[in-house]
Amino acid sequence: MEEKNKKVELKTSAMKMDRRDVLKSLATVPIIGAFGYGMYKKNKYYETLNSKLLEELDFDIKEQAGLNVPTDKKIRIGVVGCGGRSTYLMRSLGFANPDYIDNQIERAKTDKGWQERLENFIDQDDMGVEITAICDVFDIHAEDAIKAGQNIYRQGSKGKMGKAPKRYRTYQELVRADDVDAIIIGTPDHHHSPIAIEAAKRGKHVYCEKPLSWTVDETYQVRQAVVDSGIVFQLGHQNRQTDSYHVAKSIIEKGALGKISLIETCTNRNTPNGAWVYPIHPKANPNNIDWKQFIGPAPWHDFNLERFFRWRCWWDYSTGLSGDLFTHEYDAMNQILDLGIPSSAMASGGVYFFKDGRTVPDVLNMAFEFADRDLSLLYTATLASQYERPRLIMGHDATMKVSNTLEIVADADSTKYSDKIKSGLIDPGKPIFTYVPGKNKVDAVTTATEKYFAGRGLLYTHRNGKQVDTAHLHLREWLDCVRLDNGTQPSCDIHQGFEEAMTAHMGTVSFKEGRRAYWDSEKEKIV
Amino acid sequence: MTKSSDKSLKTPQLLALVLCRVLIGWHFLYEGFIKVLNPEWSAKIFLLDSQGPFKSWFLWMANNEGVLQTVDFLNQWGLVLIGASLILGLFSRVATLAGALVLALFYLSHPPLIGVEYMLPSEGSYLIVNKNLIEMSFLIVLALIPTSQYIGLDRLIFRSRRK
């Protein structure tokens, strides 16, 4: 009975929606309001901070657009020198050796990353080119390049192939061919200029790997030949296409860093491959290598496989660290800051680690002065430690760290930012600005997580899902100019190339002669 | 709530649990909204950084565009809904279980195991147990000892069901 009464009581109380019920039901609702208010305040805070900082930094972002000329007109290409670099460039044009594709397909079966890479290659824009000619002094490399050149459908070895490019024994014959409109030079350094000059004389457009020249004299000759012929010339500094460099340029032009007095660049590697100790092809021998042609303008040396495959280790064929790796750093800075040729260069270093008979140093330090700009550029390199050092542009008001991403940190004793630092708006210990390519907006304030990933270049690759191949863009720019046919030259034209080569030569002259090398800008001579 | 009943919670116990529920809800809600408000946010980077025994499964999610889109959507709006639901005490049982599941997934993709390192350093020091695991276990407690039928909108549903 009592039980029954209790149940009834419960039931009636349940039916009644009394004041207590309503209060208890809604007790936590105000927390949502508090949350909303907090959220609004926090967003507003960062928005204001961001806009104030960006207002202070006052720049607009000029990202690369590309000329994007329609590719309906076929351009017929000859490739001179078909080693590692040209193989890469041919892939950037859309031509891969079928064996390479087979290998990729095999790897893609178990690895998503490789699958993505393969898909990226297959989906890569059609450049509207045809590889009609190949020239290499090593038969196996030439045959591989022919296979790549005829793989027009980007298939594996069982796939359908197109017409095979013709092999020429010498570059002189190749540049004379009627079915070649333009050439790619991917030979050792000592052949770059002679081939470019020969091609220019025949009116063939040139994409030449860096550095522009092997000797100082060639540098003038190749510039003359290219200018006289009016061909479209692109030097292979594909970093010209890096988005962050373009943004860095526009930010610096707005004065975000203040007076720049020092630039620090470097190269750090620590592997035999990084130190140019490349594998020697097991089937290479004097019968399948045209050794005499390989030597070309270099001093004579008897047949030597190490010299053939690891030519970068000898001054006889190479321009060393200065021509091979410093030129990338210099060209990046020349692109961002329009440096031109330095007024002087001082270099030191030596063969300190790779005691393998090489003549080019594996440690090189160079200091370049730009007297008219009141600034120094330092380059330090070692092939025997890969401890990573940032590339820095140091100004009185702020310092910029330049890679695929950008980061600006204000200087604690900056004049420009002193008010903002005093008011606490700018913390000189933290970046005031970061740029991550692929993000369509600029942030002065990004989250710690984003900064962390951005600093490691991760957002770029992963956010767009596709890795952008700068060599592809660089070749595209060259081909666009060829198609425009109105005198437009690509971003790394012969004049930029001249500055690049002369600067590198100044460093080498200083190193070899153990003295400071000067640039006489009136006579355009190294003295 | 009958004060004398052994099975019922005492008021301070109930209030402490409600406090936990609201704070965890707040955390979920903010984590969700911050993702919703950032148009470029994606779980991809986090997933790609996965380690531990389920690594390959999380990598598969990251590399599969369709799956990733679903994961992103659930991470954004799922967290918002769980958070709001915990704070308001509405459908709290489902929310606590869903929240525990989400946290279990976060934990499994980034377990703080010995010798395992992540791109993004954690904000504290952990060995096997981390904050995700602790928050998850709290949500299990909240699922087993429901509070929303006493304090929260579930009280209204609970009452009307008993009619």
Order of strands, sheet of A75-80, starting from the edge strand that comes earlier in the sequence? A166-168, A129-135, A75-80, A182-185, A205-208, A233-235
3-state secondary structure (DSSP) of residue A328:
helix
The shortest C-alpha distance from B18 to chain A (Å) reads 9
Q: Letter for the amino acid at A493?
A: D
* CA angle at A157 for the pair A153 and A160, rounded to the nearest 5°: 40
Asked whether the beta carbons of A64 and A241 are under 8 A apart, the reply is yes
**How many Cα atoms sit within 13 Å of A84 on the Cβ side?**
12
Residue B100: give the domain boundaries: 18-112+121-150
The shortest C-alpha distance from B23 to chain A (Å) reads 10
**Scanning every residue of chain B, which has its alpha carbon at the shortest distance from the alpha carbon of A462?**
B45
Per-residue pLDDT at A460: 42
End-to-end CA gap in chain A: 117
Asked whether the beta carbons of A457 and A468 are under 8 A apart, the reply is no
Q: A27 and B152: CB-CB below 8 Å?
A: yes
CATH top-level class for A53-63+243-471+505-526? Answer: alpha beta
Pseudo-torsion of CA A300, A303, A305, A311, nearest 10°?
Answer: 10
Q: Letter for the amino acid at B141?
A: V
Q: What is the pLDDT along chain A (527 residues), one digit of tens a residue?
A: 455 555 544 454 545 668 888 899 999 999 999 999 999 998 888 888 777 777 766 666 655 677 888 988 899 999 999 999 999 999 999 999 999 999 999 988 887 778 878 888 888 889 999 999 999 999 999 999 999 999 999 999 999 999 999 999 999 999 999 999 999 999 999 999 999 999 999 999 999 999 999 999 999 999 999 999 999 999 999 988 888 888 899 889 988 999 999 999 999 999 999 999 999 999 999 999 999 999 999 999 999 999 999 999 999 999 999 999 999 999 999 999 999 999 999 999 999 999 999 999 999 999 999 999 999 999 999 999 999 899 999 999 999 999 888 889 999 999 998 988 898 878 887 888 888 766 545 555 555 555 555 554 444 433 344 556 788 989 999 999 999 999 999 999 999 999 999 999 999 999 999 999 999 999 999 99
3-state secondary structure (DSSP) of residue A266:
strand
How many domains, chain B? Answer: 1
- Token representation of residue A449: 């997580």
Contacts of residue A39 in chain B, CB cutoff 8 Å? 30, 33
Q: A116 and B63: CB-CB below 8 Å?
A: yes
- Residue in B44, B89, B156 nearest the CB of A28: B89
Nearest to B48 by CA among B66, B28, B64, B30: B64
Q: What's phi and psi for B142, nearest 5 deg?
A: -70, -30
Q: B163 and A112: CB-CB below 8 Å?
A: no
b/e for B92-109, b at 16 or more Cβ within 10 A?
beebbebbbebbebbbbb
C-alpha to C-alpha distance for A104 and A86, rounded to whole angstroms? 19
Per-residue pLDDT at A458: 47
- Residue in A17, A25, A112 nearest the CB of B59: A112
Q: A35 and B18: CB-CB below 8 Å?
A: no
| Residue A466: partners with Cβ closer than 8 Å, 6 or more residues away | A116, A120
Q: What's phi and psi for A448, nearest 5 deg?
A: -55, -40
Asked whether the beta carbons of B76 and B35 are under 8 A apart, the reply is yes
Q: In what helix (H) or strand (E) does residue A130 lie, and over which residues does it extend?
A: strand A129-135
C-alpha to C-alpha distance for A136 and A131, rounded to whole angstroms? 14
A493 vs A3, A188, A331, A335, A477, CA distance in Å? 98, 20, 12, 12, 11
Per-residue pLDDT at A468: 67
- Residue in B59, B87, B159 nearest the CB of A28: B87
Q: A24 and B150: CB-CB below 8 Å?
A: yes
Asked whether the beta carbons of B134 and B13 are under 8 A apart, the reply is no
Asked whether the beta carbons of B84 and A31 are under 8 A apart, the reply is no
Given the structure tokens 């009581």, which residue do they identify? A9
- Residue in B40, B89, B150 nearest the CB of A439: B40
- Three-state secondary structure of A21-34: HHHHHHCCHHHHHH
C-alpha to C-alpha distance for A390 and A401, rounded to whole angstroms? 6
User: Which of A28, A114, A446, A452 has the most B C-beta neighbours within 10 Å, making it the best mutation to test the interface with B?
Assistant: A28
User: Which of B14, B24, B153, B157 has the most A C-beta neighbours within 10 Å, making it the best mutation to test the interface with A?
Assistant: B153
Location of each CATH 3.40.50.720 domain in chain A: 75-241
- Token representation of residue A290: 């045209």
Q: What's phi and psi for A467, nearest 5 deg?
A: -90, 130
- Token representation of residue A510: 């200083």
Order of strands, sheet of A406-410, starting from the edge strand that comes earlier in the sequence? A431-435, A406-410, A398-402, A392-395, A260-268, A375-382, A363-370, A344-350, A517-520, A525-526
**Model ipTM value:** 0.88
C-alpha to C-alpha distance for A311 and A318, rounded to whole angstroms? 6
C-alpha to C-alpha distance for A251 and A527, rounded to whole angstroms? 35
b/e for A353-374, b at 16 or more Cβ within 10 A?
ebeeebebbbbbbbbbbbeebe
* CA angle at A124 for the pair B70 and B38, rounded to the nearest 5°: 35
Digit-coded pLDDT (tens) for B2-30: 444 456 789 999 999 999 999 999 999 99
C-alpha to C-alpha distance for A15 and A11, rounded to whole angstroms? 6
Choose between B160 and A527: higher pLDDT.
A527
Per-residue pLDDT at A462: 36
Per-residue pLDDT at A383: 96
Pseudo-torsion of CA A83, A88, A94, A99, nearest 10°?
Answer: 70
C-alpha to C-alpha distance for B145 and B154, rounded to whole angstroms? 14
Nearest to A508 by CA among A237, A211, A276: A211
**B47 lies in a domain?**
yes
**Scanning every residue of chain B, which has its alpha carbon at the shortest distance from the alpha carbon of A13?**
B159
C-alpha to C-alpha distance for B92 and A136, rounded to whole angstroms? 73
Per-residue pLDDT at A506: 98
CATH top-level class for A75-241? Answer: alpha beta
DSSP A324: I
Location of each CATH 3.30.360.10 domain in chain A: 53-63+243-471+505-526
C-alpha to C-alpha distance for A338 and A377, rounded to whole angstroms? 13
DSSP A313: G
C-alpha to C-alpha distance for B32 and B39, rounded to whole angstroms? 12
Nearest to A142 by CA among A90, A67, A201: A90
**B30 lies in a domain?**
yes
**B2 lies in a domain?**
no
**B11 lies in a domain?**
no
Per-residue pLDDT at A4: 52
- Residue in B45, B60, B84 nearest the CB of A32: B84
Q: In what helix (H) or strand (E) does residue A474 lie, and over which residues does it extend?
A: helix A470-484
Rounded (to 5) percent helix, strand, coil in chain B: 65, 0, 35
Per-residue pLDDT at A172: 97
Q: Which long-range contacts (CB under 8 A, 24 or more apart) does A6-15 make?
A: A10/B162, A11/B162, A14/B159, A14/B162, A14/B163, A15/B163
